[in-house]
């Protein structure tokens, strides 16, 4: 290896010691000799770095970009460029993705100089709410899409690493592979150095002095009231017990700040949320900060939750407490919540050895709204995988309905827009089969000229259409503020 990457020369974010270099050369020799793999990944430790800054530094509209951060977990992934994109559409999309993922895993060899289970292959992306995408609004997205990036940076507590991946048939010899890996390490080093030297943090530091025009928050009000009334009629006729209706607010994009700034705002403001970005090559950016975890899966231990039932935050501590109490004792909200707990439990049962949750919901407080919240844990049977469980869990009645097969057609009928990836699962899966997916609510689709914001709420027998409308306004707030529309 050229001396510039070796650790006894200068201080660089990513350095390789001689022993690692020797191991790397042997690994590459093995790849070329055996010729039984089509892809290889290479993971190295890096110095402390802000993955978001690197994403900003390396931003390229024409390439795949991905970001995931849960500030409260001290966990982040920034990734870019496509090595392979797994995609599928239709009712068998989960099964199709699972078989593509397995094939890719079998065709990949991994080199790692870190001891971390997230080293190696990483699959990043998500799924649309319904099994097909039907309009041009989401034309850069697939109904199911997991991308293996050509690079990603991982931050997990104090652990930082960089993983590169490549397609082996692109290279003729051992030397070419070695040159490619070291060349890319060098360019990553340059980007990491300028990301950490970058004088300004990507924070939106101050309010825009020339505020954007007020959002027409009343837009779609009549249609909403009428849809909620129709949904309640179906509930009275016992078609279903609960349905989640959503609205889309579409506005001209005024804030042209990079989406990385938007993400930075979200992660600072919503520390307990999963902040995400999925940007297909040349497409729009799907961005959000969601409080709802759909699945966290590691060593056959699963964590999920019921999050449904909402009320505003109080202006004083006392008022806030009173509102939380009102929420906890509200029959309407408790019913709305209980359908979710029940349904999740039912769906997990075939996979689970045991399932645990408290009998009473807690209250989860976000800066704009508070929700009823029941964390649920399950020990799963060995055959369960993150994607097979995801297939069964999505959509929970927190974003769909109860029973789902009865409510589903009414969502399409009563909403006048394509949900796309709104309320679908978004997240990541690693090579060991662990992964995390969140429900992509509190989100927006950001195009060059237009932004679509989404928010929904659960409708049950005694829902009041006006109150539900106000609740959607509360839920739109995080994204509206992040784009400075307030």
Ligand X SMILES: C=C(O[C@H]1C=CC=C(C(=O)O)[C@@H]1O)C(=O)O
- For 157-292, list the strands marked E by DSSP: 159-167, 242-252, 274-279, 285-290
Task: Tell me the closest approach of the beta carbon of residue 330 to ligand X, in angstroms.
Answer: 11
State the Cα–Cα distance between residues 297 and 484, nearest whole angstrom.
35
Distance separating alpha carbons of residues 420 and 138, to the nearest angstrom: 6
For the bound state, the minimum distance from the C-beta of residue 129 to ligand X, rounded and expressed in Å, comes to 10
Contact of 202 with 418, CB cutoff 8 Å: no
Q: Is 470 a catalytic residue?
A: no
* Least Cβ distance, residue 450 to ligand X (angstroms): 19
- Could you give the CA distance from residue 244 to residue 397 in angstroms, rounded to a whole number? 7
CA distance 283 to 256: 15
* Whole-number Å distance between alpha carbons of 161 and 151: 11
Measured from the CB atom, the residue of 111 and 402 that comes closer to ligand X is: 402
Q: In angstroms, what is the minimal distance from the CB of 309 to ligand X?
A: 5
The catalytic position among 155, 242, 364, 475 is 242
| Residue of 69, 292, 415, 471 marked active site | 292
User: CA torsion sign, 337 to 340 to 345 to 351?
Assistant: negative
Cross-strand partners of 223: none
Query: How far is it, in rounded angstroms, from Cα 429 to Cα 122?
Result: 6
For residue 237, the minimal CB distance to ligand X (Å) is 22
- Which of residues 277 and 457 has its CB atom nearest to ligand X in the complex? 457
Classify the C-alpha dihedral 11-12-13-18 as positive or negative: negative
Nearest in space to 144 (alpha carbons), one of 377, 356, 381, 427: 427
133: Cβ–Cβ under 8 A, 6 or more apart, which residues? 89, 139, 141, 142, 143, 418, 420
Q: Which is nearer to ligand X, 44 or 453 (CB)?
A: 453
Q: Report the residue number, 149 or 395, with the smaller CB distance to ligand X.
A: 395
The Cα–Cα gap between 330 and 320 comes to 15
**242 an active-site residue?**
yes
User: Tokens standing for 34?
Assistant: 């055996």
- Residues at the site binding ligand X, with contacts judged by CB under 6 A: 244, 246, 292, 307-310, 371, 398-399, 441-442, 455-458, 475
Indicate the Cα dihedral angle 324, 326, 327, 333, nearest 10°.
180
Which CB sits closer to ligand X, 193 or 230? 230
Q: Which residues are catalytic?
A: 242, 292
């Amino acid at each position: 290896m050229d001396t510039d990457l070796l650790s006894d020369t200068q201080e660089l974010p990513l350095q390789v010691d001689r022993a690692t270099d020797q191991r790397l050369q042997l690994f590459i020799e093995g790849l070329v000799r055996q010729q039984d793999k089509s892809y290889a990944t290479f993971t190295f430790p890096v110095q402390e770095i802000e993955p978001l800054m690197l994403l900003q530094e390396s931003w390229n509209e024409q390439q795949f970009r991905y970001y995931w951060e849960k500030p409260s977990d001290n966990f982040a992934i920034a990734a870019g460029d496509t090595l392979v994109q797994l995609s599928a559409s239709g009712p068998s999309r989960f099964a199709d993705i699972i078989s593509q993922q397995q094939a890719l895993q079998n065709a990949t060899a991994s080199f790692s100089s870190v001891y971390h289970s997230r080293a190696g292959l990483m699959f990043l992306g998500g799924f649309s709410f319904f099994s097909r995408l039907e309009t041009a609004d989401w034309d850069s997205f697939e109904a199911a899409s997991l991308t293996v990036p050509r690079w990603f940076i991982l931050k997990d507590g104090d652990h930082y690493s960089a993983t590169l991946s490549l397609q082996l048939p692109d290279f003729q010899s051992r030397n070419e592979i070695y040159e490619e890996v070291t060349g890319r390490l060098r360019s990553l080093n340059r980007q990491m150095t300028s990301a950490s030297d970058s004088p300004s943090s990507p924070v939106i530091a101050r309010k825009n002095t020339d505020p954007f025009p007020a959002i027409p928050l009343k837009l779609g009000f009549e249609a909403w009231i009428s849809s909620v009334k129709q949904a309640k009629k179906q509930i009275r006729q016992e078609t279903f017990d609960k349905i989640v209706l959503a609205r889309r607010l579409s506005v001209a994009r005024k804030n042209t700040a990079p989406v990385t700034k938007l993400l930075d705002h979200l992660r600072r403001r919503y520390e307990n949320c999963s902040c995400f970005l999925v940007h297909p090559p040349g497409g729009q950016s799907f961005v959000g900060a969601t409080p709802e975890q759909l699945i966290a899966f590691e060593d056959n231990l699963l964590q999920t939750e019921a999050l449904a039932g909402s009320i505003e935050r109080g202006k004083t501590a006392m008022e806030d407490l009173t509102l939380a109490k009102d929420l906890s004792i509200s029959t309407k909200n408790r019913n709305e919540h209980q359908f979710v707990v029940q349904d999740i439990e039912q769906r997990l049962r075939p996979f689970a050895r045991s399932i645990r949750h408290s009998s009473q919901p807690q209250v989860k407080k976000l800066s704009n709204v508070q929700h009823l919240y029941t964390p649920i844990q399950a020990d799963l049977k060995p055959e369960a995988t993150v994607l097979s469980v995801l297939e069964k869990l999505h959509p929970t009645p927190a974003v769909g309905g109860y029973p789902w097969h009865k409510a589903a057609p009414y969502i399409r009928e009563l909403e006048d827009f394509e949900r796309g990836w709104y309320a679908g699962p978004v997240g990541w899966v690693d090579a060991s089969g662990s992964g995390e997916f969140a429900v992509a609510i509190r989100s927006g689709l950001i195009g060059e000229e237009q932004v679509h914001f989404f928010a929904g709420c659960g409708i049950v027998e005694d829902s009041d259409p006006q109150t539900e409308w106000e609740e959607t306004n509360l839920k739109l707030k995080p994204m509206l503020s992040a784009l400075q529309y307030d």
